């Protein structure tokens, strides 16, 4: 799976760009604010229907435009897929795959699996369980076709249950929803747990290359006491849930814990080590997808040289290129990437004031 061409219109400061991309490493360089990160963001937007830099999608639309348009040609073996997306300032979004309208953005994510490594990726370690839960759910979504619907049902039931709690409903009114919640929560948890077990098998080898002197333990917590029956827990915690107005425990509180000894990884490692750990997580996730579905992710790596010395830049690029996946890397100085590669990039693009130039 790789992008062979991407067209970007009215996306941030990129008014118009048409990139013919290489199947291996694509290097995008330019000064800060030039628009190089916007290319990565546009690819992500095409695969997820949202930005990795802002929760407000309207902000990515160029200030002089009413909408943005993205188009890409994907190649998977001999099979070619065309994806188009238009996002209006009003919030409306139109998506087409091979000319057919698509209503669910989850179909985009399935068609275009993307791994992002950016300065914001530290959120995976610093910003609480939500980012780590999303990381696990990305893999669970791709590895098990039953996960998406089970998780959507879980979220729907939690929303209904929380509304009843805010309305001070009696437990007899909530009990029906609890039976459904337990059923889907157990399904979601089983898939998540199985995915993390599979991921760990790959992750340990990559971490040992990146951080050979550090013993990192990765474990999954399901969101409630593993020794307690969830159905009984919901009943016992009803008074507390009623007081807070929401469900305190459950699969919506699941987490991926990364520890060095007794300390959380973010307290035990340096910034450079943390970046390598995040990269190891993303690379392992992409490799597992390849193992399970014979499908490559597309890696988007923003500002790769920052906080990494030459040795670790070389090690990271070696790991990325060995995945056999398509990679988009940004840097201010192209030499910081080129000098760390064993062979030249497939394609090089220079970005200045939103204008993209191919470097032959």
Residue ranges of the annotated binding site for ATP are 30-37
Q: Give the residue numbers of the binding site.
A: 30-37
Using CA atoms, how far apart are residues 242 and 250, in angstroms rounded to an integer?
15
Closest-CA residue to 99 (of 80, 112, 113): 80
Q: Tokens 């963001």 label which residue?
A: 41
Cβ atoms of residues 14 and 21 within 8 Å: no
Distances (CA, A) of 97 to 64, 69, 73, 110, 125: 27, 14, 10, 12, 35
Cβ atoms of residues 230 and 186 within 8 Å: yes
CB proximity list for 151: less than 8 A, separation 6 or greater: 137, 140, 141, 184, 188, 251
Using CA atoms, how far apart are residues 34 and 13, in angstroms rounded to an integer?
8
- With residue 190 as reference, give the H or E element that holds it: helix 171-210
Closest-CA residue to 5 (of 101, 70, 96, 100): 70
Tokens representing 337?
């990437």
Cβ atoms of residues 165 and 246 within 8 Å: yes
Cβ atoms of residues 301 and 345 within 8 Å: no
């Amino acid at each position: 799976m790789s992008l062979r061409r991407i067209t970007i219109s009215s996306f941030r400061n990129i008014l118009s760009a048409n990139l013919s991309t290489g199947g291996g490493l694509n290097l995008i360089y330019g000064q800060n604010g030039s628009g190089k990160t916007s290319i990565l963001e546009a690819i992500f937007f095409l695969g997820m229907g949202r930005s990795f830099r802002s929760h407000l999608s309207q902000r990515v639309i160029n200030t002089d435009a009413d909408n943005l348009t993205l188009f890409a040609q994907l190649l998977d073996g001999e099979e070619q897929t065309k994806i188009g997306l238009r996002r209006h300032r009003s919030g409306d979004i139109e998506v087409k795959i091979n000319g057919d309208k698509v209503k669910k953005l989850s179909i985009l994510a399935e068609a275009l699996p993307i791994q992002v490594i950016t300065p914001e990726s530290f959120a995976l370690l610093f910003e609480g369980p939500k980012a780590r839960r999303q990381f696990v759910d990305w893999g669970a979504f791709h590895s098990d076709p039953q996960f998406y619907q089970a998780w959507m049902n879980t979220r729907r039931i939690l929303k209904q249950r929380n509304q009843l709690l805010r309305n001070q409903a009696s437990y007899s009114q909530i009990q029906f929803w609890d039976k459904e919640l337990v059923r889907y929560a157990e399904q979601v948890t089983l898939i998540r747990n199985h995915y993390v077990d599979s991921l760990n098998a790959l992750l340990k080898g990559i971490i040992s290359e990146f951080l050979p002197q550090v013993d990192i333990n990765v474990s999954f917590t399901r969101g409630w006491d593993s020794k307690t029956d969830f159905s009984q827990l919901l009943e016992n915690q009803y008074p507390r849930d009623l007081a807070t107005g929401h469900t305190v425990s459950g699969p919506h509180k699941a987490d991926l814990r990364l520890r060095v000894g007794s300390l959380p990884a973010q307290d035990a490692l340096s910034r450079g080590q943390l970046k390598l750990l995040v990269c190891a997580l993303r690379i392992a996730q992409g490799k597992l997808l390849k193992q399970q579905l014979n499908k490559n992710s597309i890696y988007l790596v923003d500002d790769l040289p920052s906080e990494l010395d030459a040795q670790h830049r070389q090690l990271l690029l070696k790991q990325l290129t060995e995945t056999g996946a398509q990679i988009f890397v940004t840097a201010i100085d192209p030499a910081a990437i080129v000098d760390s590669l064993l062979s030249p990039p497939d394609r090089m693009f220079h970005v200045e004031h939103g204008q993209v130039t191919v470097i032959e």
